[in-house]
Amino acid sequence: MNVYDYAVVAAYMVMMVWIGIYFMRYNRGGSDYFRAGNKLNWWIAGLSAFMSSFSAYMYTGGAGIIYQEGLTGSFILGSTALGILAGYLLFAKLWRRSRVTTILEFLDERFNLSSHQVASWTYIPFNILYCATAQYSLAIFITAAIGMDISYVIWICGLVIMVYTLLGGLWAVAITDVVQFLVLLPVSLVLVPLALLKVDNFHSFFHSMPPGYFSIPSQQYPWYWLLVLMLLLVHGQNTNPNAQRYFSVRDEAEAKKVALLCMLLFIAGIMTWTVPPMVMRYLYNDLSPYISLPNPHEGSYVVIAMMVLPHGLIGLMISAIFAATMSSIASQYNSISGIITKDIVAKLAGRDFTARSQLLLGMAATLAVGIITLLLSLAMAGSGQGSFKTMMKLSSLTGTLIATPLLLGFIYRKAPSWSFMFSFTLSAIVTLLVAFFPPLVDYLASLGPAMEFTVTTLAIFFTGLIAFLISPFIFKSSQREAARIKTFFTRLDTPVDTSREIDDSPIDHAPLAGFVGWMSIILGALILPFTFIPAPLPDRMINLSLGSILVAFGGLLYYLGKEEEPEYGRKQESGVRSRKSEARR
């Protein structure tokens, strides 16, 4: 990287903070801060869901799997789309009709207060740890790639995420996700053909790879491992952060569009994630001389990017890797702060806070979560990640513990009020055994990594599933609990009436397409000057082409934004004019 690339990264960071400041004006209460007042445009929510569903892992560990395993690695990364398909077919509609503000809010009504509190207190610490580890992992990679001190990377990334999430809430998170998509898109589109130009003989490319490189499954990741992975993805992609996007749009139809767009983007993304590391495998069987990572194959994507991208786009590529992790962490910050505000503080206080109080509590919670995450990341940088491996393993298992009864609560209506706690408790016991009981840990390790992962995951999942399904034969809901559960399912059966359930607000009249258009124009304007820096003509033409495309695309969005008048806003204005006319008569 040179000074031009650093300038792009710096400008990108400033843009993220500015978006948070800009959207601060639209947050009038907790509903706006945590679910955008149910007014996220479906295409914004869909792009945000896509960006929030992966982190820098796609460009590091994910690229490393493709480098080593070929098409099986591509299937692993692309199989996220199958998890989102379940959202399109079923869960997107249910999440929107639940009319919640956080992903755990409905547990109190569907089950009971104990279930609600156990899930909330379990969710928060492990997801903060996830954020810290994601931030630390990003810092390791950026440090190895560009040589910046790891603590500086953590401070910069942590403060930028914290500031724009704190100020702008879900609106800022979603809009920055869209801008981050605009950062990611040109790098991904350009890198594929430039990487393919490095292949001098495609016959040799397909025949020089290791045996089984272009087949699914591979020896390292057999079919049963892939099936279990898809099971986990159905859980993960239909809880957080996608669930938050589903219940932040206007109605069920838009929620399904969110899932559909996110799924299609993952399918399209497979090619952009697959080609660069495969080309690197063809060019270099050993990457250790080129990058100083503990697992050199995880640097395959960034190495080829630095080989073929012109200056300016290298900075954009580093920004894209920042963006992938920042999107994921920012979504977690907003979700965690919502749970602290709505699911813990409000319940402990025994009352609902005013909209303004929810907003202030949410901002305070976001600040606290951001500071804790930042300090944890710095601690990891000082002591190494090894001490956190056990906790991260438990974290991933705990996510499944909550997700299984949570999603079943939507679809298994016979389950009584104590079914969540019954399922969670038995699954937690199994989790502790497979994670910490030495004889069982040793036995599972002897099976090999793939079988250990499969047996462990299925043991926990089926324990929770069976416990939940048999709970009606063990527990009975009281008359009051049964009535409350019936009310919950009545709401799930009731379509959202946007004219009655969604209030008018200033964001209704904000031309969001025009705003995103301006961001695209600014990004294009950042790239265009690199046409004039000393560089080979092809590199300068790439910068000119991409910069022009982003400016033209932004101009189109800005034009559409000027013409944009949200349907609900028109209805409100029409209603106001009608009432004034009646008053005059």
Question: How many other CB atoms are there within 10 angstroms of residue 450's CB atom?
Answer: 18
**CATH classification of the domain holding 60:** 1.20.1730.10
**Number of domains the chain contains:** 1
| C-alpha to C-alpha distance for 550 and 533, rounded to whole angstroms | 19
What is the dihedral angle through the alpha carbons of 417, 418, 419, 420, rounded to the nearest 10 degrees?
100
| C-alpha to C-alpha distance for 373 and 128, rounded to whole angstroms | 6
The reply to whether 511 falls in a domain is no
pLDDT for 279: 94
Helix (H, G, I), strand (E, B) or coil at 294: coil
| C-alpha to C-alpha distance for 311 and 527, rounded to whole angstroms | 10
The reply to whether 138 falls in a domain is yes
What range defines the domain where residue 207 resides?
3-346+356-503
* Angle in degrees, CA 4, 5, 9, rounded to 5: 120
| C-alpha to C-alpha distance for 288 and 463, rounded to whole angstroms | 43
317: Cβ–Cβ under 8 A, 6 or more apart, which residues?
Answer: 187, 191, 302, 305, 306, 309
Secondary structure tally for the chain: helices H, strands E = 27, 0
**Which segments of the chain have a pLDDT < 50?**
385-392, 565-585
Cis link prior to 538 (omega < 30° from 0)? Answer: no
The reply to whether 391 falls in a domain is yes
- Of 250, 226, 182, 213, nearest to 39 (Cα)? 250
Pair 242, 259: CB distance under 8 Å: yes
Distance of CA 448 to the CA centre of its chain: 30
pLDDT for 505: 60
The reply to whether 106 falls in a domain is yes
The reply to whether 309 falls in a domain is yes
Tokens linked to 216: 């699914």
pLDDT for 515: 86
pLDDT for 584: 44
The reply to whether 582 falls in a domain is no
Cis link prior to 241 (omega < 30° from 0)? Answer: yes
Question: How many other CB atoms are there within 10 angstroms of residue 431's CB atom?
Answer: 22
The reply to whether 537 falls in a domain is no
pLDDT for 390: 44
pLDDT for 394: 52
| C-alpha to C-alpha distance for 138 and 66, rounded to whole angstroms | 19
Question: How many other CB atoms are there within 10 angstroms of residue 125's CB atom?
Answer: 14
Nearest 5°: phi and psi at 52?
A: -80, -10
The reply to whether 569 falls in a domain is no
